[in-house]
Homo-oligomer: A and B are copies of this chain.
Amino acid sequence: MPQPVELIIKNADQLLTLATATPDNPLGIITQGSVAIGRDQVVWVGAEANLAKEVLVTESTRVLDAQGKVVIPGLIDAHTHLIFAGSRADEFDLRNIGISYQEIMGRGGGILATVAATRKASKEELYRLGVRRLNRALRWGTTTLEVKSGYGLSLEHELKMLDVIKELSAHHPVDLIPTFLGAHAIPEEYKGQREKYIQLICQEMIPSIAERKLAIFCDVFCEKGAFTYDETEQILRTGIKYGLKAKVHADEFSNSGGAILAADLGAVSADHLLSAPAEALAAMRLRGVAAVLLPGTSFVLGLKRYGPARSILAQGLTLALATDFNPGSCFTQSLPLIMSIACTQMHMTVAEAVLACTSGSAKALALPDKYGKLAPGSPADLLILDITDYRFLAYQMGENPVETVIKEGRIVIENRHLV
């Protein structure tokens, strides 16, 4: 029976549902496809030819014509460090002429430089910076993103960051999913007393953040120079005890056991994974841990190595691609650019890259099954792209094909402009 709808996008050259995959049509593409939206949800998806029969268009229904265009679900960025003050443009030059990221960290640069700037910044300043960055993300088609704390590294400043994330999520169209990353680095004032800092995380920060419901996830940077396997386990077990789901910055520069630990703990995702051994991927698969790859970071750091995308896909793990947006190792907010890097450097097809920025990243954020897809019941988060073939998303490297963005049924970018 026809149902009345508020918004229709009709007649797309390609409508990527990502919901009805077959081997011949892995993206569930409907040609001359239409999608009907009621309130904040998709209520109908199908071929243009069936639209009139199955959907009741009223006088108040707004209709957007997507002829010559591609429609896809809104992109989901599963790993960002969106909130920070200051910049690290100086380090960009230093690193490019041969000084390593670890060496810069060792000199008190790197993360700790951003911690100093972020501690100095007021909530209002961080909020203002956040809005600018979310506007930019939205222009690139990102409608949901994960954001980590971790530039506060004290109870006061971690809470400040997480408060700002909460405020932004409440007031900006983009949905923010908060992750507590107190274990991002050992702050200056705990140098030589790492046990004390870990105590602070476990005994004060996690209980306080859990009580205020300021985070969904707890994450640890498990890496030589950051946190050990044992420290990571202690922190994540505490987080889990307090109801936070686990994520791990795992095996980025060296095999530190992070991916194996993610599997042991039943974490939602393990991220980076450049140095993860095959048995860790197998363990992740058994426990349903999603793999989040961040190829922009390999690229910016000038590494020749990238995450093992082909092994991950061959083994049937859930794969997400994310920006890792941060002021040190990857200052980009463009998931289309990340797709280009993933395709050319990790040998992914554009179809695989699109899945990894939508339904794959939805799983890496433990979102319900209908997220990152266009099916009845999906959130009405979708993009109209000014291209006739979805492959241009990654093929036309660096360009922004996003013309219109719909978030929860509301047009928030139209013809490239914020509305």
Q: Which A residues are closer than 8 A to B by beta carbons?
A: 87, 89-90, 92-93, 96-98, 136, 296, 299-302, 304, 330-334, 337, 340, 343-345, 347-351, 389, 391-392, 394-399
Query: Which residues of the other chain, B, contact A398 by a CB distance below 8 angstroms?
Result: 332-334, 337, 398
Q: Are B391 and A347 in contact (CB under 8 A)?
A: no
| CB neighbours of A396 from chain B (8 A) | 331-332
Beta-carbon nearest neighbor of A98 in chain B: B347
Partner of A389, one of B87, B302, B351: B87
- A331 to B300, Cβ gap below 8 A? no
Least distance between A281 CB and chain B CB atoms (Å): 20
A389 to B90, CA, bound (A): 10
In the assembly, what is the distance between CA of A148 and CA of B391, in Å?
26
Partner of A304, one of B299, B304, B347, B351: B304
CA distance A98 to B304 in the complex (A): 17
Contact of A302 among B93, B334, B345, B392 (CB under 8 A): B345
A96 to B351, CA, bound (A): 12
24 residue pairs of the A-B complex, CB under 8 angstroms, read A87-B395, A89-B389, A89-B392, A92-B350, A92-B391, A92-B394, A93-B350, A96-B343, A96-B344, A96-B347, A96-B348, A97-B347, A98-B347, A136-B399, A299-B344, A301-B344, A331-B395, A331-B397, A332-B398, A332-B399, A333-B399, A334-B398, A337-B397, A398-B398
Q: Name the distance in Å between A117's Cβ and chain B's nearest Cβ.
A: 14
Indicate how many identical chains form the complex.
Answer: 2
The CA of A349 and the CA of B94, in the complex, are separated in Å by: 8
Which residues of chain B are within 8 angstroms of A350 by Cβ–Cβ distance?
89, 92-93
Q: Which residue of B lies closest to A394 (CB)?
A: B92
Q: Are B92 and A395 in contact (CB under 8 A)?
A: yes
Instruction: Choose among B296, B331, B349 the residue that contacts A96 (Cβ–Cβ < 8 A).
Output: B349
Q: How close is A187's CB to chain B, nearest CB, in angstroms?
A: 25
Chain B residue with minimal CB distance to A343? B96
Asked if B332 and A392 make an inter-chain contact with CB atoms under 8 angstroms apart, the answer reads no
Per the bound structure, the CA–CA distance linking A337 and B97 in Å amounts to 18
B347 and A302 contacting across the interface, CB-CB below 8 Å: yes
A392 to B395, CA, bound (A): 24
Given contacts A89-B395, A333-B399, contact A97 B349 (CB under 8 A): yes
Question: Which B residues lie within 8 Å of A347 (CB)?
Answer: 96-98, 302
